[in-house]
């Protein structure tokens, strides 16, 4: 088994950590995540000061483990035949070993340097991890991984090379091959031990959270067992409730963990949420529908469309999957995405994640400059986005009230009597007159300088198309 380089006193912690208990991770409801999708580790480090100043508490990396080297090791986001640079973004979602560093994002030393930069500026690092599967070409798995689990045949579930045909069948969903990706036997104690060394190495280098990719494809205790498994205990090990072969998750009470448990029929959200926070995938769809229609009346925006508590939900306007896989959200303009962001960032619950679209991307060219490693477009620093981030921090603990215009074009997110955000989802100017709890007076949006009046419990003013405003009761 490969030896892991550990840092000073952290090595001792790694060796003696006792089994922990991963409590539900909801809380800290002013926190905000920046998904620095396809940014290299160096790029993230070099932009950490701006990330912090823009109000993001967390920066989320793409997967940093060893991965499949496709298209000759090219670093295009998504290449077409004949392109001068080849590559596909999804290769780093195809592990070949659980060791830090890959050709797309950077080395183990790069990861350490990025975490050091994050610590300097008070930002926490979330790493996208994916223990569920290996590369489509599982012959590309590296010898160290095969040896760690007692041979290549022990790496996969008994059902792990069988394609899933019914994603709502929990046995198929948690043991079968998803999208051509062979399903790892996550219940194998040897694999759990090997994987946990990787996670603990990330923590020792400075990671303070994890996003579990394809989490709903890893079985819960109540799920059917694969023929090779004695019990479904991966989540107990991965969240620190249980040790494996004497090894436990480091710092379980100091980590933020959430899972990609995409909603569908027969998904056990309330069992998963006993281990981690979850993505509010249905809410993203609802919000995008409102944005497209420019009408809040077409969907219920007040309801989170999820059985778990809103304090345990990671919310987004779009994710890398909705942008990339079928381009489900890629047609939305940056202006439209911004309206949705200000809305979810202004709300009292949920933990919003801002997905950084590719550098130079347009609605005609979704891939933009088409290079992995580059910083995304400038939207994460847009003044309206930053103003909403600041508003979220300032309004922590204040109750929310959603007030809609009669025509559904706009909404006010009121936070007690301390402030409110105004969002125009439509492409037309809106004159508003909304009931409010804000005291009488004049309120000026710091980004645009637009002035709104409150008199006798009514807020009045004009909203430009696809524009947002932040008002404070100073």
- Which SS3 state, helix, strand or coil, does residue 170 take? helix
213 is annotated as an active-site residue = yes
E strand or H helix that includes residue 340: helix 334-346
* Count of positions (residues) in the chain: 474
Tokens 């379980």: give the residue: 252
84-96: buried (b, 16+ CB within 10 Å) or exposed (e) per residue?
Answer: eebbbbbbbbbbb
Catalytic residue among 183, 187, 201, 213: 213
260 is annotated as an active-site residue = yes
Q: In sequence order, which ranges of 54-188 are alpha helices (DSSP H)?
A: 108-121, 143-148, 170-175
Q: In whole angstroms, what is the distance from residue 153 CA to residue 234 CA?
A: 19
Instruction: Let me know: does 267 contact 259? Beta carbons within 8 Å.
Output: no
Q: Which long-range contacts (CB under 8 A, 24 or more apart) does 285-292 make?
A: 287/317, 287/340, 287/343, 287/344, 288/317, 288/318, 288/322, 288/328, 288/329, 288/332, 288/340, 290/340, 290/425, 291/317, 291/332, 291/336, 291/337, 291/339, 291/340, 291/425, 292/332, 292/336
Output the CA–CA distances (angstroms, integers) from residue 66 to 74, 95, 407, in the order listed: 15, 6, 52
Closest CA to 338 of 358, 314, 357: 357
Q: In whole angstroms, what is the distance from residue 449 CA to residue 124 CA?
A: 33
Q: In whole angstroms, what is the distance from residue 206 CA to residue 113 CA?
A: 9
Tokens for 340?
């949705």
Catalytic residue among 183, 201, 242, 260: 260
* Catalytic (active-site) positions: 213, 260
């Amino acid at each position: 088994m490969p030896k892991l380089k550990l840092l000073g006193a952290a090595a001792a912690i790694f060796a003696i950590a006792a089994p922990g208990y991963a409590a539900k991770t909801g809380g800290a409801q002013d926190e905000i995540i920046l998904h620095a999708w396809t940014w290299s580790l160096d790029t993230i480090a070099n932009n950490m000061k701006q990330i912090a100043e823009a109000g993001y508490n967390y920066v989320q990396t793409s997967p940093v483990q060893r991965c499949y080297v496709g298209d000759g090791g090219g670093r295009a986001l998504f290449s077409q035949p004949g392109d001068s640079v080849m590559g596909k973004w999804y290769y780093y979602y195809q592990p070949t070993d659980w060791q830090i560093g890959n050709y797309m994002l950077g080395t183990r030393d790069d990861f350490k340097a990025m975490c050091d930069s994050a610590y300097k500026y008070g930002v926490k690092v979330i790493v996208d991890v994916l223990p569920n599967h290996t590369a489509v070409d599982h012959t590309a798995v590296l010898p160290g991984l095969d040896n760690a689990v007692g041979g290549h045949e022990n790496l996969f579930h008994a059902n792990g090379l069988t394609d899933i045909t019914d994603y709502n069948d929990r046995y198929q969903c948690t043991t079968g091959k998803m999208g051509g990706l062979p399903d790892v036997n996550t219940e194998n104690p040897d694999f759990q031990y090997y994987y946990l060394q990787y996670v603990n190495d990330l923590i020792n280098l400075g990671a303070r959270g994890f996003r579990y990719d394809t989490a709903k494809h890893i079985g819960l205790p109540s799920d059917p067992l694969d023929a090779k498994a004695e019990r479904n205990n991966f989540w107990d090990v991965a969240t620190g409730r249980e040790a494996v072969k004497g090894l436990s998750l480091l710092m379980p009470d100091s980590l933020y963990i959430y899972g990609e448990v995409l909603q569908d029929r027969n998904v056990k959200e309330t069992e998963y949420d006993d281990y981690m926070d979850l993505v509010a995938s249905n809410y993203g769809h609802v919000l995008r529908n409102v944005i497209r229609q420019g009408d809040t009346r077409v969907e219920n925006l007040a309801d989170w469309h999820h059985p778990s508590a809103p304090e345990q939900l990671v919310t987004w306007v779009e994710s890398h999957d909705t942008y990339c896989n079928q381009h489900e959200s890629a047609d939305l303009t940056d202006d439209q995405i911004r309206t949705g962001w200000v809305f979810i960032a202004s709300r009292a619950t949920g933990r919003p994640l801002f997905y950084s679209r590719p550098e130079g991307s347009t609605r005609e060219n979704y891939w933009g400059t088409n290079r992995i490693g580059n910083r995304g477009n400038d939207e994460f620093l847009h003044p309206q986005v930053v103003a909403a981030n600041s508003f979220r921090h300032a309004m922590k603990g204040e109750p929310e009230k959603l007030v809609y215009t009669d025509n559904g074009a706009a909404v006010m997110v009121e936070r007690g009597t301390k402030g409110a955000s105004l969002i125009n989802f439509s492409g037309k100017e809106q004159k508003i007159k909304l009931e409010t709890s804000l005291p009488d007076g004049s309120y000026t949006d710091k980004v645009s300088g637009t002035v709104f009046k409150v008199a006798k419990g009514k807020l009045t003013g004009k909203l430009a198309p696809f524009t947002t405003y932040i008002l404070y009761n100073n």
